[in-house]
Structure 1
Amino acid sequence: MTGGGAMRPILDMNAYRPGDSRTDSVERRLANLGAASVLFYRQPIEMAEAAGAWMVAKDGTRYLDFYNNVPSVGHCHPRVVAAVSEQIARLNIHTRYVVDVVDDYLERLKATLPPELENVVMTCSGSEANDLAIRVARAATGGTGIIVTETAYHGNTALVTEASPSARRRGSLPDWVIAVPPPSCAHHGTDIAGGFLASIEAALAEFARRGIRPAALLVDTIFSSDGIFADPAGFLRPAAAAVRAAGGRIIADEVQPGFARTGDAFWGFGRHGLAPDMVTMGKPMGNGFPMAALAARPADLAAFCEGTGYFNTFGGNPVAAAAGRAVLEVIEEEDLQGNALRVGAGLMEQLQSVAARDDRIAGLRGAGLFIGLDLAAPGGGRPDPDLTVRVIDGMRARGVLIGAAGRHGATLKIRPPLCLGADEAGIFAGALEAALREARG
């Protein structure tokens, strides 16, 4: 079901590789982590501190952060720092005790979700949340089949890695996973909703041929690892209806698009007028404090718990709840959703202006402060991951951090902190144009 062309592992894009120049700090990291070490850039950066949308290296170099969606409300936001510090000085324990801050947070979080998602299970990572979501979907439906998109990434547990095509360096997907093309014009032309629905129907038919019952459609609702595909708003609804008609559940992976990033909705699924059966969330929840969650219907969660107990020692601890509550308060009080909408629109206009002057920008898509920018051979030719690496390097040299996405690794994934200012958006656009100009030479 996957499309043609070689897949470029995203973690390999512009990453440190054996044989690159090493500092003592890099040697120390490699000695500690071994083959599991993943470092950005052929000359890795040793970071020392951060605030707002900026990070500072040990050598004093300042970097504008357009890559990390973890510090969603800004690096080291003082409200989150204070909330975590105060709570850890008072009490931090697992969820077998009743602590008001935990239920205060859960009720505030649930107020942002569809009302039928009455239960929230706290975990420590999005990987755990997606792992649990698949297991709940299977228990609730009696099916095992999972549909994902062809360059999806949903986490790194054993179960979720098998449903994350972009995490696989070799081998094929298991029989219970089918990957469909992302909702792009390249695959579906102008009828994104109809084309994506047809792909989902074909996957359901293939499951039937294999004798596998579908359990869920699992999608990152802005399709970030596939290259960021946000529009047209509403295109997910027909595909969701088809999966439900076949007995499956809809799992909205909101680890990247959630918590106001898209600007016109708090959750990525909100842009589609869709109420998922389950919502998973992670990174931005605690602004850097490790926390994640699964929101589900009580009946589905009960079906799972009948056969399997679930307990997470650190998931939902009081310090995590304090961090999460502070994040929700900051988003509301600083109008960061509105800021994402306004500054994101201004940034998109600036990028469109750059694209008008450089025909190697083959596409621009996104919503709010989540934008994908495709780089290709001049005149809109084939995707050019090598150009992408040169641009990433060129922007790093100009003090701007950015990463790649997409099947070919030729899409810049633009997702700065939600506190980004218009002046900082301008810095990014200027650095991009300069890096492109340098890369042409």
Structure 2
Amino acid sequence: MSKQATTLPKGFRGDMPNGFNPQDTSHLTSEDLAHITRRQRLLGPAYRLFYKSPVEVSRAKGVFLYDRHGNEYLDAYNNVVSLGHSHPRVVEAIQKQLEVLCTHTRYMQEPLLDYAEALINTFGGELGRTGCAMFTCTGSEANDLALRIARYHTRKTGVIVTAEAYHGNSGAVAAISPSLGKKSALDPYLRTVAAPDSYRLPVEEIGRRMAEDVARQIADMERHGGGLAAFIADSVFSSDGLYVDPTDVLAPVAEVVRKAGGLFIADEVQSGFGRTGTHLWGHSRHKVDPDIVTMGKPMGNGYPVAGVVLRPELVAEFGSSMRYFNTFGGNSVAIAAARAVLDTILEEGLMDNAAKVGSEILDGLRDLQTKYEFVGDVRGAGLYFAVELVKDRDRKTPDMDRALAAVNALRDRRILISATGVDAHILKIRPPLIFTSANAARLLEGVDEALRSVQI
């Protein structure tokens, strides 16, 4: 098939980590290039494609994606469908509910209350005893709502996040998401602290250092006016580079935050719903009780449903002073999907599976660390892993070029992962919770081959 038969329009950008580069198209077929050109014309330049050679998909099942030619891709990246693509239990729940009723939360519906009760019961501490649930469509909306409630309750404006955090793409939460890039405007009341980099910092000092850093930022906020409304964190620090240990980091931070009158918000979009294997919620690994928990992506296994669980007094004044309504948040079908996901995780032992298969993958990745000098660090919990590639082990210098080459080498072997971290030099591996030992073996073989291919 002929190459480069079409020219991409000016202004098309592919500057995200692991993004398609529109200036490098000589390897594409004319058919693929025509599709990409049409896509840019119809969808605009803000959308990005993954990989040097973008992947076309037409169907999916379990841990596999398939293109229109029937080629199979192992999905080791997608945490949206945490139960795997087209999970029969979720599909059935959605289909059955759609045949009966799909409406909003302004009508009395028992399944809505039943799910809220089941969800709240999964939490420990005060949230598990007295918490309230509110539902949205996306994690961005959930974080937006949490931020709005925190600012209303505290009458303060300041927010603290980690240096490369991502908390969503609404206007309010994009403004507290430094990872969106230097051209994305940040909230003037935002402060950042360093992530708990267990590869470069003494592990025994990380919790103390982070708490002290938060305290300094709070003092700076108060000096400039506004004060602290909330500290919000993803407890596996996914966008910062995935730092899952130690787990004594967030409790001292929460203490400093509350002493200043702020709220501690746990963003569970990445770490929740059993992802870490040992705990349903990532914050539980840190033995911290949040004031607000936000959820998204895997909550509906691909169906748009998200939400917050929070202390009742936080929403009491907010709710009595203004009405909150989300037309599609918590609709009948969304709740059916969410209930099917939660029940499947708890009843089918998927956390145990994440711990078991995750341990096999982590051991295999650590074996590869001994094999390749440029693999500086391997870390992970449950079914979430980071493989940090460096130019020099002593200096721990990030190696973005090699990392992105490895991601694309895996894509060429039809295994899908991505990259993370401020320098995009960390391989991010995040398989569905149903991953098997056989899937793990294929993944590890592919990673080995990809790393071998990027040796210099």
Q: Which amino acid aligns with 1:314?
A: F
Q: Aligned partners of 2:404 and 2:57: how far apart in 1? A: 21
Q: Aligned partners of 2:200 and 2:178: how far apart in 1? A: 18
Retained in 2: the 8 A contact 1:17–1:42? Answer: yes
Offset from partner CA, 1:266-314 (integer Å, 9 cap, x none): 0000101111000000000000001100111111012222433210000
Offset from partner CA, 1:374-393 (integer Å, 9 cap, x none): 01114354101111110001
Q: Aligned partners of 1:13 and 1:168: how far apart in 2? A: 11
Q: 2:16 aligns with which of 8, 12, 32?
A: 12
Output the TM-score relative to the length of structure 2: 0.92
Gaps of 5+ in 2: 1-12, 26-31
Q: 1:261 aligns with which of 261, 268, 275?
A: 275
How many residue pairs match? The answer is 433
Q: Aligned partners of 1:194 and 1:37: how far apart in 2? A: 40
Structure 1 residue aligned with 2:9: none
Retained in 2: the 8 A contact 1:181–1:187? Answer: no
User: Given the alignment of the two structures, is residue 351 of structure 1 paired with residue 365 of structure 2, yes or no?
Assistant: yes
Retained in 2: the 8 A contact 1:10–1:405? Answer: no
Q: Aligned partners of 1:11 and 1:240: how far apart in 2? A: 35
Deviation (angstroms), 1:188: 3.9
Structure 2 residue aligned with 1:426: 441
User: Given the alignment of the two structures, is residue 304 of structure 1 paired with residue 318 of structure 2, yes or no?
Assistant: yes
Structure 2 residue aligned with 1:440: 455
Offset from partner CA, 1:202-239 (integer Å, 9 cap, x none): 11121122122101100011100000111112221001
Q: Which amino acid aligns with 1:429?
A: L
Q: 1:204 aligns with which of 211, 218, 223?
A: 218
Spell out the pairing of 1:56-71 with structure 2 (5 A cutoff).
56-71=66-81
User: Given the alignment of the two structures, is residue 289 of structure 1 paired with residue 293 of structure 2, yes or no?
Assistant: no
RMSD (Å) for aligned C-alpha atoms: 1.7
Structure 2 residue aligned with 1:34: 44
Q: Aligned partners of 1:38 and 1:266: how far apart in 2? A: 31
Any idea what SS the aligned residue of 1:95 has? coil
Structure 2 residue aligned with 1:169: 182
User: Given the alignment of the two structures, is residue 48 of structure 1 paired with residue 58 of structure 2, yes or no?
Assistant: yes
User: Given the alignment of the two structures, is residue 277 of structure 1 paired with residue 304 of structure 2, yes or no?
Assistant: no
Any idea what SS the aligned residue of 1:349 has? helix
Deviation (angstroms), 1:94: 1.0
Any idea what SS the aligned residue of 2:453 has? helix
User: Given the alignment of the two structures, is residue 96 of structure 1 paired with residue 111 of structure 2, yes or no?
Assistant: no
Q: Aligned partners of 2:213 and 2:338: how far apart in 1? A: 37
Structure 1 residue aligned with 2:162: 149
Q: Aligned partners of 1:358 and 1:81: how far apart in 2? A: 42
Worse-matched range after superposition: 246-255 or 11-20: 11-20
Deviation (angstroms), 1:98: 1.4
Retained in 2: the 8 A contact 1:188–1:195? Answer: no
Deviation (angstroms), 1:18: 2.7
Spell out the pairing of 1:79-94 with structure 2 (5 A cutoff).
79-94=89-104
Q: Aligned partners of 1:144 and 1:378: how far apart in 2? A: 42
Q: Which amino acid aligns with 1:65?
A: D
Structure 2 residue aligned with 1:369: 383
Q: Aligned partners of 1:426 and 1:408: how far apart in 2? A: 28
Any idea what SS the aligned residue of 1:332 has? helix
Q: Aligned partners of 2:317 and 2:447: how far apart in 1? A: 50
Spell out the pairing of 1:211-290 with structure 2 (5 A cutoff).
211-290=225-304
Offset from partner CA, 1:132-186 (integer Å, 9 cap, x none): 1011011111111100000000000111011000113326633310011001135
Q: Aligned partners of 1:80 and 1:372: how far apart in 2? A: 29
Deviation (angstroms), 1:10: 11
Q: Aligned partners of 2:323 and 2:148: how far apart in 1? A: 12
Q: Aligned partners of 1:185 and 1:93: how far apart in 2? A: 47
Structure 1 residue aligned with 2:4: none
Deviation (angstroms), 1:108: 1.1
Q: Aligned partners of 2:181 and 2:317: how far apart in 1? A: 31
Q: Aligned partners of 1:412 and 1:240: how far apart in 2? A: 30
Structure 1 residue aligned with 2:3: none
Deviation (angstroms), 1:337: 0.4
Q: Aligned partners of 2:391 and 2:291: how far apart in 1? A: 41
Q: Aligned partners of 1:132 and 1:10: how far apart in 2? A: 31
Q: Which amino acid aligns with 1:361?
A: V
Output the TM-score relative to the length of structure 1: 0.95
Q: Which amino acid aligns with 1:211?
A: G
* Identity across matched positions, percent: 42
Deviation (angstroms), 1:341: 0.8
Structure 2 residue aligned with 1:109: 119
Q: Aligned partners of 1:56 and 1:350: how far apart in 2? A: 26
Offset from partner CA, 1:379-434 (integer Å, 9 cap, x none): 35410111111000100111100011111111111110000011111111111111
Retained in 1: the 8 A contact 2:14–2:20? Answer: no
Any idea what SS the aligned residue of 1:429 has? helix
Worse-matched range after superposition: 243-252 or 369-378: 369-378
Q: 1:194 aligns with which of 200, 208, 223?
A: 208
Q: Aligned partners of 2:195 and 2:15: how far apart in 1? A: 20
Q: Aligned partners of 1:73 and 1:388: how far apart in 2? A: 27
Higher relative contact order (CA 8 A, sep 6+): 1
Deviation (angstroms), 1:14: 2.2
Q: Aligned partners of 1:182 and 1:235: how far apart in 2? A: 10
Q: 2:148 aligns with which of 127, 135, 140?
A: 135
Q: Aligned partners of 2:238 and 2:247: how far apart in 1? A: 15
Q: Aligned partners of 2:391 and 2:437: how far apart in 1? A: 30
Gaps of 5+ in 1: 1-8
Deviation (angstroms), 1:15: 1.1
Any idea what SS the aligned residue of 2:370 has? helix
Any idea what SS the aligned residue of 2:100 has? coil
